[in-house]
Amino acid sequence: MNNSVFRRFLLKISLVLSIVSIGTFSLKADEIKFAHFDRPSKDSVIKILAIGNSFSEDAVEQYLYGLAKAGGYKVIIGNLYIGGAPLELHLKNAQEDKDVYEYRKVGVDGKKDRYPKTSISKALADENWDYISFQQASPKSGLFDTYVEPLPPLFEYVKSRATNPKVKYIWHQTWAYAQNSTHNGFISYNKDQMRMYDGIVDASKRVMKLVPIDILVPSGTAIQNARTKLGDVLCRDGYHLDLNVGRYTASCTWYEAIFKKSVIGNLYKPEKLSGADALTAQEAAHKAVKKPYSVSKLK
């Protein structure tokens, strides 16, 4: 056994021991009752595209691939990235077919490639996407009025160009800022984390009626759940997620929402993340998918 394989083996043992020691490792008991026909097939490559910004970078580019692989799924993950991009900018770029995105793509082998000067239309045509997600820029994430004008025409644009007739559409519910955040957008919420979170939850409820969204990925609720146990330490700069537990929590939420299988017990985690914190992230995500519009306190 070479060193890298041995290290991965030790990481898996560490996570399993942490789960067992806390006494919550029961896959059958913790399995969400999803209909089997709703689950993606392990026999095909599942293709996921985010139309986003740095918050989709945090959520899907780092750890979602590893979680999917550990769960037995083959995936391709794309992210159309412009830092801080709001819905109205995505709509403008779509209508004018602008080549202004950096298209980050994680292939079946886990390797990430970057393609500059890419348009939404090019990325949509690049793969037969199974899932396509939308999200609002973080300063506007809790302000539903900012969704009303740009999202419906953006949705119709994407729908008209998606090549998979069975594609499912995702709304990515993002997270509230850290309590000490100095981001200018925090002023809209009186620099109050729970006020921002409540606004995000309200907007994510209402967006499901604004356009025909199939899946809600409640990363915002998962992060808030994790904060009940770990404290307000999940952001690295007041708004972007911590490189380990924060990003991992969001990725766990995406995993469970898409694959409709409990993430608790998944043996993939970042090397620098302890088994106990990995389990906390998994529990936070699991509870968020079950209750996406309210905070669940973790013990």
User: Which tokens is 155 given?
Assistant: 């949705």
pLDDT higher than threshold 90 for residue 8 = no
What pLDDT is recorded for position 265?
97
DSSP letters spanning 215-236: EEEEHHHHHHHHHHHH-S-SBS
Q: What is the pTM of this model?
A: 0.89
| Amino acid letter, residue 201 | V
**% of the chain with per-residue pLDDT over 70:** 87
What pLDDT is recorded for position 272?
95
Residues ≥6 apart with Cβ < 8 Å to 38: 260
What distance in Å separates the CA atoms of residue 227 and residue 292, rounded to the nearest whole number?
15
Helix (H) or strand (E) holding 116: strand 112-118
Residues 222-257 have pLDDT tens digits of 999 999 999 999 999 999 999 999 999 999 999 999
Confidence band for 15, pLDDT divided at 50, 70 and 90: low
